[in-house]
Amino acid sequence: MTRTAIATATVTKTAMFKKILIANRGEIACRVIKSARSMGIATVAVYSDADKDARHVLLADEAVWIGPPPSRDSYLAMDKIIAACKATGAEAVHPGYGFLSENKEFAARAEAAGIVFIGPKPKSIAAMGDKIASKRLAQAAKVSTIPGYTDVIANAVDAERIAGEVGYPVMIKASAGGGGKGLRVAWNPKEAREGFDACRAEARTSFGDDRVFIEKFIEDPRHIEIQVLGDAHGNIVYLWERECSIQRRHQKVIEEAPSPFLDEATRHAMGEQAVALARAVDYQSAGTVEFVVGRDRSFYFLEMNTRLQVEHPVTEMITGLDIVELMIRVAAGEKLPFGQKDIKRNGWAIECRINAEDPIRNFLPSIGRHVRYRPPVEVPGAVRVDTGVYEGGEISMYYDSMIAKLVCHGETRDGAILRMRDALNAFVIRGPSSNIAFQSALVQHPRFISGAFTTGFIAEEYPKGFSPADLVHDNPEFLIAVAAAVHRTYRDRAGRIAGQVPGYELHIGNDYFVMGEATECPVTVRPVTGGCDVQIGESMHVVRFVWRHGDILMDGTFDGRPFAIQVERLGLKYRLTHRGTQVDFQVLPRRAAELLKMMPRKVPPDRSKFLLSPMPGLLAEVAVRAGQKITAGERLVVIEAMKMQNVLLAERDGVVAEVLAAAGESVAVDQAILRFE
């Protein structure tokens, strides 16, 4: 790979591109590189200062520096990206998702510069980029739309009147909105007035466009989308649907294909309407038509995403198609190589988004270096990991929190769920916090397993957020037996140390006590070839494993059933992580366990007089000074990370005794920022 300075070059068009530039970063940049490489196409990465050692930079054939970390100065800088295409001779640019992927101006400027935009034409992006205009287009194309008022609403009084005419509950939405911003649900006139003002202000700040409209809120809704694909020769097909109802604050968490809710008639009807809408705007690339689906399977158009979706791998897994490759071929002028009748469905696929966030701290972003990073082993057609990170790499505070997308396929939905549980068990991440435990909880939840969920699932089942108490392991004897077996292997190794004084050799017994926060269990451990037999009460368990001391991941069988569990030795304790549950055990000879119970407990230090950072990030503002009196609810500091601001407020009245960190510094989790008197 070579790093290239930006200069001027002439682009020569060919039948198939020889070189493309990926105007993105992270996981999706790596994904596009993979397909391009399989097609024999050279790739160019772009990178900011924060990404100079990123995985997508290392994978590409060439890489061009495009500026400092803030997106506006790098990944959103159109001039720099177009200049990078010309400097490297890239004939086409793939925008991935996010950043410039749905920017009609960028698509038009690329075309004007003689660079093919691997995505829809600017006119298609423009037509679907405005929610009000796109809804009118959908109505004209005879696509089912939600009842509502699509003209711009002037003020809160009109909003209240229109909401009453549509009928409560209603959704108040910003025309230029996205990602859950500029959206409120109103159940009465008061909420309609307040929601209108809030949406308008949020839309003005976030999108520079304060137009707001109102439509009927569908109760018990599901979010189901149709993948479409069109070429420049008039061919448009749909690649079935994706179920995206498992969301947190309007952000997708788990996606699957097909949907467990749709019947064949509804599935085909939605697909045909999606194609009709795509045809109405002469759509030429991969795109997604999103629908809200009611409890009676009535469905209504929401919006069209004129780009590649994060969750496209589940569609690839059930169809066997490479959507990124097809995007490239369509952009090069090729016809789609199949028709609608040729697109089959095979089995079931589920995707879990693995994010750098701390579920225990209300999903605050987490940044830092990957001290250990071991994704599950990929198995073609069964387990797939799309990632943009590697062990030793860093999660930056400047961009989104995605670490990887874990995708599992099975012949049935139950088979895909079981494979996902095993893959999550085997996903090792140390350094930044991740949401793996939360994902494990979700795929074990009875409502998820049954398929009886809506977009309100997470809010309903975790109204106070997620905590370890939400996970109770279904087989605690498994954890106890593994802890006992691991301890016995350490004892056996210690017993083999040379040079032990005669008469004082280490005595290794078979009887132990396994002690945890809520566990005190006597066990008997007998080593055998390939593992241990562990007796717990009247039950004898057979534990067999392949594992080396110091490895985090242990594979084995428990009573003949395969397992993968994460094992770490922390001082005198063993930390086991399995199915989202994390427990610490101490394994002691029985007499030592009796004596331990008599030892005094160490009281943790009192940190109530300190303001601690709840997340790693940039201390953007310190709003108080030493000696200042403060009142409950007063703004103290602002911490920024991953495009998110977290304002910390005073919990009670008091006085600031000392300011321990200054604005502009990077802070770690639980770092003291202020001390109070």
Rounded Cα distance between 385 and 642, Å, is: 22
Q: Give the chain's largest Cα–Cα span.
A: 93
Q: Is the distance from CB of 46 to CB of 6 less than 8 angstroms?
A: no
Burial (CB count <10 Å: 0-12, 13-18, 19+), residue 534 = buried
Chain centre to alpha carbon of residue 38: 26
**Which residues in 453-510 belong to E strands, given as ranges?**
none
**Which residues in 309-444 belong to E strands, given as ranges?**
348-355, 357-358, 364-365, 368-369, 372-374, 383-387, 394-395, 402-410, 428-430
Rounded Cα distance between 336 and 643, Å, is: 38
3-state secondary structure of 590: helix
Retrieve residue 225's tokens. 């989308």
Rounded Cα distance between 156 and 197, Å, is: 7
- The size of the chain, in residues, is 677
122-129 and 104-112 helices, crossing angle to 10°: 170
State the virtual CA torsion across 547, 549, 552, 557 in degrees, nearest 10: 30
Output DSSP code: residue 145: B
Q: Single out the residue of 330, 266, 342, 264 nearest to residue 297, CA to CA.
A: 266
Retrieve residue 89's tokens. 């001779």
**Which residues in 249-371 belong to E strands, given as ranges?**
251-257, 286-293, 299-305, 348-355, 357-358, 364-365, 368-369
Q: Is the distance from CB of 440 to CB of 448 less than 8 angstroms?
A: no
Q: Which residue's entry shows tokens 């196409």? A: 41
Q: Single out the residue of 182, 123, 187, 124 nearest to residue 153, CA to CA.
A: 182
| Active-site pick, 303, 316, 351, 357 | 303
**CB neighbourhood size of 468 (10 A):** 14
Retrieve residue 424's tokens. 């999550």
Q: Is the distance from CB of 56 to CB of 29 less than 8 angstroms?
A: yes
- Whether omega for the bond prior to residue 502 falls within 30 degrees of 0, making it cis, is no
Return all residues near 99 (Cβ < 8 A) that are at least 6 apart.
23, 24, 71, 75, 76
Rounded Cα distance between 452 and 409, Å, is: 20
Q: Is the distance from CB of 153 to CB of 213 less than 8 angstroms?
A: yes
Return all residues near 70 (Cβ < 8 A) that are at least 6 apart.
48, 398
How many degrees, rounded to 5, is the angle at CA 465 between CA 462 and CA 466? Answer: 85
Question: Residue 311 catalytic?
Answer: no
Active site residues: 303
